[in-house]
Structure 1
Amino acid sequence: MAEIHQLIIQHGKDRARELVPREQRPLVDAAASVLADESRAMGITYSGFCLTALPHKRLADDQTWRRDGHRVTLVVQPGVLLLGGKEKMYGVPYGSRARLILLYLQTKALQSSSREVELGASMRDWMSRMNVSTGGQSYRDVKEQCNRLSACHLTFFWDDLETKGRGSKFAKDSIVVGGLTFTADDDRQGSLWEERVLLSESFFKSLREHPVPVLESAIREISSKSMAIDVYIWLAYRLHSLSEATRISWQSLYAQFGAGYDELRHFKTRFPETLRVALNVYPEAKVEIGREGLTLHPSLPAVASDRRQAALIGM
């Protein structure tokens, strides 16, 4: 994606749009927005979500989700909530909305140094900044994913070689232990925005120990693309810590990102476009795609080092 970034820097957004094929103009718009972002506002995610992720599409409500990443395995089990005096089964959270909700909760928890996160106007404003409507069907989608996140049982299993005894293993109700459930069946937004959420103690502790900064404006530009979000935060986690070029095989990429693809060959056909979208909002990234997979090169972090350090020290 370096060529699009260079076109914008050398010629400006409008001229860059004229110099690329019509189908690439949305990429120019997204890249220009990130390059023009002076606030460099930062979001925070847990390192485990950089190496594995939630499903992209809805599963059967009773289906457990398992995903293997680099020396880490994520297992998410569906759960039951008591709503209006009745038990209701909720399946595993999925898609871009679940990822955005999680990112908001993690960011606000670390910014406030508290397990308790207020939704309210703060979450509404943040969702709006992420190009997510807070009314109508979008509101119902957010509410559904909130209930799923509250009900699910999530566990990260870390390889000892990776963590050296510092890994995380969360117990039942591992992300949220209070709040984040909504019983109203209509669009009365007050039932969503006035709640508070309490993150589990074990998840909050691991988040504090292993935070990964991401650029808020980058997430905004890919907010409706769940796989692009996963690839972006993976690159934000991996690239700046590399000391030399590192090859990632197609098989490894498929194991981490290939959920929903029946065969590796189908994944190989589609993944380059998703990678292109993620690289488009990470101008500093140096990644090559080849016949055998990807080559990752040491790159500047997605969030400038001085801002990373200042923000994380404050947390």
Structure 2
Amino acid sequence: MTKQLRTVEKQGPTTKESPVTPIRPNVAARLFEEAQAIELEDATRAGMTGFMGRALVQATLPYREPDRDLPVWGRVAGNTSLIIKPGYYANQKTNQLESMGYPYGTIPRLLLAWIGTEAVRTREKHLVLGKSLSEFMNGLGLTAQTGGKNGSITRVREMMKRLFAADMAIVRGEGKGGGDFASSKFSIAEETALWWDPQKPDQAGLWQSTVTLSDKFFNEIVSTPVPIDLRALKALRQSPMAIDLYCWLTYRNFSLRAPTTVPWEALKLQFGSGAGAEKKFRETVKRALQQVMEVYPAAVTPTKGGLFLEPSKTSVPRLIKDW
């Protein structure tokens, strides 16, 4: 049985409530199962604590695929921007350099959670991705492994290449005129080696598939990690916005000391997927938030002005001093 998220809008002395679209039965069943497990045992005791890098929680990746010919893509959150430039490869048929495309959707977010978790756990930049592609995908929470052009095996390999080859930057302030300005360029990976055979995902490769994280990205993860419950990510894996909202809410609750309202305009800059109607964006956020509340019942309420947040427990208990 799912919790019914309600939109609360104050209108003088009365309160207007409007329900959001119910969660689909198959999604509701998955959320309920994980919510039960989370309620019975917290992430630390269950060994399901994971970590995300703070920068990519504050400014998020694309939800849908941007145009491959777009030379740069950006997302703005307040005075902070995430800028992404895609990697390139040599097309042997045309002898031309072509864009690999941008990392987008759920899979890069699951990859970032796996990378962050392993980096914090091992304190190593050089990460072994697993004996086989199938083993690695299980670690991401992708148990339905399908082949073909649009299958999950193909999409995981494609998104790994896009994510690890891209160049990124966090920019604060304005690039023109006066005022403060700061820019920090980084890439996720310094070196990547993928030796798995996509036709035989259960078979170990002749060499280990590995990724070596860049110094800047590695240092940020281990110095300012955002603790998350990996079971929540598994439950939310079909909605990249739900994943982002979940990570953002638990991150905010680590420092939130007083009630606050985050305006819809600010949320649209951070989580919006392009220029679209604000009403449609609000409904999208409410649907995603309804899923999040199943696995992380934070004190958050959609209002006419934005998302009203009250200090509440974090998704992962505050038990480790380094957090």
2:315 aligned counterpart, secondary structure: coil
Kindly tell me: are residues 270 and 152 of structure 1, through their superposed partners in 2, closer, same or farther at Cα, counting changes over 3 Å? same
Query: Among 74, 86, 91, which residue is 1:66 paired with?
Result: 74
CA distance in 2, matches of 1:148, 1:111: 25
Q: Provide the residue aligned with 1:47 in structure 2.
A: 54
Matched, 1:99 2:109: yes
CA distance in 2, matches of 1:76, 1:147: 14
Kindly tell me: are residues 45 and 132 of structure 1, through their superposed partners in 2, closer, same or farther at Cα, counting changes over 3 Å? same
Matched, 1:301 2:314: yes
Equivalent pairs, count: 286
Gaps in structure 1 of 5+ consecutive residues: 6-20
The aligned runs of 1:142-153 (5 Å cut-off) are 142-153=156-167
Q: Provide the residue aligned with 2:18 in structure 1.
A: none
Query: Among 79, 82, 90, which residue is 2:87 paired with?
Result: 79
Matched, 1:275 2:295: no
Kindly tell me: are residues 22 and 249 of structure 1, through their superposed partners in 2, closer, same or farther at Cα, counting changes over 3 Å? closer
Q: Provide the residue aligned with 1:175 in structure 2.
A: 188
Q: Provide the residue aligned with 1:119 in structure 2.
A: 129
Matched, 1:242 2:256: yes
Query: Among 271, 277, 287, which residue is 1:257 paired with?
Result: 271
1:271 aligned counterpart, secondary structure: helix
How much identity, in percent, do the aligned residues show?
27
8 Å contact from structure 1 (residues 124, 193) kept in 2: no
Q: Provide the residue aligned with 1:207 in structure 2.
A: 221
CA distance in 2, matches of 1:298, 1:224: 28
1:76 aligned counterpart, secondary structure: strand
CA distance in 2, matches of 1:82, 1:181: 17
CA distance in 1, matches of 2:121, 2:173: 29
8 Å contact from structure 2 (residues 260, 309) kept in 1: yes
Q: Provide the residue aligned with 1:33 in structure 2.
A: 34
CA distance in 2, matches of 1:104, 1:193: 21
Distance apart, 1:62 and its partner CA = 2.6
Aligned residue type for 1:34: A
8 Å contact from structure 1 (residues 157, 168) kept in 2: yes
Kindly tell me: are residues 65 and 264 of structure 1, through their superposed partners in 2, closer, same or farther at Cα, counting changes over 3 Å? same
CA distance in 1, matches of 2:36, 2:170: 34
Distance apart, 1:188 and its partner CA = 3.6
Q: Provide the residue aligned with 1:229 in structure 2.
A: 243
Matched, 1:187 2:196: no
CA distance in 2, matches of 1:79, 1:41: 32
Kindly tell me: are residues 213 and 125 of structure 1, through their superposed partners in 2, closer, same or farther at Cα, counting changes over 3 Å? farther
1:154 aligned counterpart, secondary structure: strand
Cα offsets for 1:87-146 (capped at 9, x unmatched):
542111111011111211121112110111110148744632513434411110000001
TM-score (norm 2): 0.78
Q: Provide the residue aligned with 2:300 in structure 1.
A: 287
8 Å contact from structure 1 (residues 227, 257) kept in 2: yes
Query: Among 106, 119, 135, which residue is 1:109 paired with?
Result: 119
Kindly tell me: are residues 104 and 251 of structure 1, through their superposed partners in 2, closer, same or farther at Cα, counting changes over 3 Å? same
Aligned residue type for 1:187: Q
CA distance in 2, matches of 1:83, 1:149: 19
Kindly tell me: are residues 269 and 134 of structure 1, through their superposed partners in 2, closer, same or farther at Cα, counting changes over 3 Å? closer
Kindly tell me: are residues 103 and 123 of structure 1, through their superposed partners in 2, closer, same or farther at Cα, counting changes over 3 Å? farther
Cα offsets for 1:212-259 (capped at 9, x unmatched):
010010000011211111111000100232111010111111111111
Distance apart, 1:192 and its partner CA = 11
Give the alignment's Cα RMSD to 1 decimal.
3.2
CA distance in 1, matches of 2:114, 2:206: 14
8 Å contact from structure 2 (residues 119, 222) kept in 1: no
Q: Provide the residue aligned with 1:12 in structure 2.
A: none
Q: Provide the residue aligned with 2:142 in structure 1.
A: 131
Distance apart, 1:72 and its partner CA = 2.0
CA distance in 2, matches of 1:155, 1:94: 16
Kindly tell me: are residues 266 and 4 of structure 1, through their superposed partners in 2, closer, same or farther at Cα, counting changes over 3 Å? closer
Q: Which has the higher contact order (CA 8 A, sep 6+)?
A: 2
Distance apart, 1:292 and its partner CA = 1.2
Matched, 1:156 2:157: no
* Structure with the higher fraction of residues in helix conformation: 1
